[in-house]
Amino acid sequence: MKHKPMKHLLIIPIALSLLIISPLLSICFGAADISFSDVFAIIYRVFGGEAEVDAIKERIVLELRFPRIILAFLAGAGLSLSGAVLQTVTRNPLADPYLFGISSGASFGAVLVIASVGAASSMVSITGGAFLGGALSVLLVVSLAGMGVQIERMLLAGVAVQFMFSSATSLVLYLSDPQAAASLLFWILGSFTRASWDNLLLPFVVITFCLVVFLAFTRPLRAILAGDESAKSLGVEVYRLRIGMLLLSSLLTATLVASCGGIGFVGLMVPHIVRRILINQSQYILIGSAIFGGIFMIWVDVLARMLMENSELPVGVITAAMGSMFFLLVLKRRTNSA
Amino acid sequence: MKCLTYFLGLTFFLASFSSAEEKQSTSIQRIIALSPHSVEMLFTLGVGDRIIATTKFSNFPPEAESIPRVGGYNGIQIEKILSLNPDLIIAWIDGNKIEDIEKMEKLGLNVYRSKTRSLDNIPNELILFGEMLGVQASGQNAANAFNARLEKIRTENKTKSSVRFFYQLWDEPLRAVAAGSWINSVMHACGGANVFNDPNFDYPEVSIENVLISSPEVFIIPSHHGTYTAGVEKWRKWPEIPAIKNNQIYFIDGDLLHRFSTRILDGMDQVCDAFDKVRASRLGALTNLNIN
């Protein structure tokens, strides 16, 4: 297969400039009228410069919009990373945190905590609930799939576990009264409204930790892509690596589900796009997925804030709509080229 | 000859059925009230003891707690309703599922659709229930008393300055009430000016930013079935909002404000009091300014 080294060289500056421009531009969108020059002046002030800025605008930017954009970036990066790793260890291009039931397990855990403790439930208890749910789903998938860890069995078990947890979540929703159910549903569909500087630390630490571990295992992960047997012949402990990666992905997903609800399709879509851009550069797929996933989510959140006046759309609805369109396009292109 | 016998039999059967129906309409004894407000209204009219079943959240007056339940928001147990053999079912268009209401009507049950959507409809329903249940005088008296009190509240607050309020209906997602909603008319009677006037949604979802830039003078936070889901902690760090700066946050029993019963007037009294305090705090601020 041919590939152009020039094209790959161009991607780095493009990614970097998108990484800087996206947060700065997206911060201008919201209910309050804040211009790009306001944002610039506020950032200038943060770094010790002197500039005239409306105090309330400064607080809106620094305390509401910045944490929100960072959370959106972290969520996009984390979910894409999780999707990229799951697709690699299962050698299945359709694998993502949803398919393994991790998201639905984590959602169920978090929903159960919110429904039983109420709106007062703290971030720690929701994260705990989400992680327990996510870990339980991985445990179920692994035990259902058996010790042989055949990928097909694993995927089927994942689908079964996903349905099981989804039905349990539906039951909790059904039993809640309409206001509480609307609140839970809004949360299940994903939103960054909870973002604040205090609750950014946990997702940041977890994502950085997982990214470092995933990057450290780039070589064995690439070996798995070539098949279990050949990976084993290269000395890779396939079973342990796979379980370890699954557990880390579930930690990643659970942390994100706890901070911003269930956001589907990103983990599926972004690694696909990145793979198309970075043909034959599989060592960069993980980091590329994280960066593009983050940037993508920043703009999805802008859409969520801006599509309806005076109201916010759940982020998960937008990602799912875009995800399905994306797959239809891919399918159409494949059918045309066939 | 056989045909004639059948015909006569059928005529007698129908005659006996229609006379039974007539008898029922004059003395309805077994009522199923499918909303908390209709239960409250029937107790106001002194016919609460005729209610044989109701829905989940009917908790007032305390006697209502012991009435058997036949469903809630998620639907009504129609089979149970049939087995209870009610004379009248008071359904609620905005609270019961329309499919359930239609099904009960199709089954031949005597269903009245309660559609109280404005303050002035409450006395109308009191009169109507009085007539339906043979307690016309109670209905008329309750309606007159309600109208007199409502009129008093309206007159007292007519000339007062308006108060910019934010009604925090729900915490997450943050939900307000807008100009078209029922609660807005209650607030309006006390001289409230809503900071959210979305014409498209009666209960718009808003963001913290929306609230910040609309700078309300007072927050009204209702409870839901006795519990307050929303705290004020997250607002404390925004003293830019006049309501937070001047500590004008009032918690009011949501059952008083969200139900279409005569108790709405108690809720209105509390809201009007809160608005008066906001006006007084303005005066206080002005006096301080003059002294300084």
In-domain check, residue B269? yes
**DSSP for chain B?**
-HHHHHHHHHHHHHHHHHHHHHHHHH----EEE-SHHHHHHHHHTT-GGGEEEE-TT---SGGGGGS-B-EETTEE-HHHHHHH--SEEEEETTTS-HHHHHHHHHTT--EEEE---STTHHHHHHHHHHHHTT-HHHHHHHHHHHHHHHHHHHHHHHTSPPEEEEE--BTTTTB---TTSHHHHHHHHTTEEES---SS-SS-B--HHHHHHH--SEEEEE-BTTB----SHHHHT-TTSHHHHTT-EEEE-HHHHHS-STTHHHHHHHHHHHHHHHHHHHHHHHHHHHH-
Q: What is the mean pLDDT of residues A30-37?
A: 87
CATH assignment of A73-332, among 1.10.3470.10, 3.20.20.20, 3.40.50.300, 3.20.20.70:
1.10.3470.10
Find, in chain A, the residue whose alpha carbon is nearest to that of B239. A56
A191 in contact with B, Cβ within 8 Å: yes
How many domains does the structure of chain B reveal? 1
CA B202 to chain centre: 15
CB contact under 8 A, B224 and A179: yes
Average pLDDT per consecutive 10 residues, chain B (292 residues; last block may be shorter)? 48 43 62 95 95 92 94 85 94 89 93 88 94 95 97 94 94 85 91 88 86 93 76 84 94 92 95 96 68 48
Q: Does A174 touch chain B (CB under 8 A)?
A: yes
pLDDT value at residue A125: 79
Task: Check pLDDT > 80 for residue A2.
Answer: no
What pLDDT is stored for residue A328 in this prediction?
85
Of residues A46 and A179, the one with the higher pLDDT is: A46
In order of A86, A101, B146, the CA distances from A151 in angstroms are: 11, 15, 70
Q: B225: phi > 0 → left, psi -120 to 50 → alpha, else beta; which?
A: left
Does residue B82 belong to any structural domain of this protein?
no
Residue B259 to residue B110: CA distance in whole angstroms: 24
- Name the residue facing A177 among B73, B172, B204 (closest C-beta): B73
**Is A107 within 8 Å of A257 (Cβ atoms)?**
yes
Contacts of A175 in chain B (CB under 8 A): 74
Q: Which helix (H) or strand (E) holds A320?
A: helix A315-337
Do you find a cis peptide bond into B61, omega within 30 degrees of 0? yes
Q: Which of B171, B204, B237 minimises the CB distance to A311? A: B204
Q: Is residue B196 part of a domain?
A: yes
**What is the mean pLDDT of the segment spanning A171-200?**
84
Eight-state DSSP code of residue A96: -
The reported pLDDT for the residue numbered B19 is: 41
Q: What is the ipTM of this complex?
A: 0.75
- Does any domain span residue B14? no
Which contiguous run of DSSP H or E holds residue A270? helix A266-277
Q: How far is it, in rounded angstroms, from Cα B167 to Cα A79?
A: 36
Q: B163 forms bridges with which residues in the sheet?
A: B192
Q: Is A312's CB within 8 Å of B173's CB?
A: yes
Closest CA to B50 of B87, B20, B22: B87
What pLDDT shows up at residue A329? 84
**What does R_g of chain A's alpha carbons equal in angstroms?**
21
**CATH number of the structural domain spanning residue B277:** 3.40.50.1980
Q: Are strands B218-222 and B192-194 parallel, antiparallel or unpaired?
A: unpaired
Question: Looking up tokens 């159910």, which residue turns up?
Answer: A181
| Domain-located, residue B272 | yes
Look-up: residue for tokens 């959370």?
Answer: A71
Q: Which of A66, A123, A310, A312 to mutate to test the interface with B (most CBs of B within 10 A)?
A: A310
The pLDDT, as a whole number, for residue A53 is 84
Tell me the pTM.
Answer: 0.81
Interface test with A, best of B94, B207, B214, B234 (most A CBs within 10 A): B207
Q: How many residues does chain A have?
A: 338
For the cut 90, the answer to whether the pLDDT of residue A211 exceeds it is yes
Q: Which residues 46-65 on chain A approach chain B with CB closer than 8 angstroms?
A: 55-56, 59-60, 63-64
Residue B167 lies in a domain: yes
Beta bridge partners of B116: none
Question: In this structure, is residue B183 part of a structural domain?
Answer: yes
Domain ranges of chain A: 73-332
Q: Do B229 and A177 touch (CB under 8 A)?
A: no
Chain B residues with beta carbon closer than 8 angstroms to that of A119: 171-172, 229-231
What's the pLDDT score for residue B173? 80
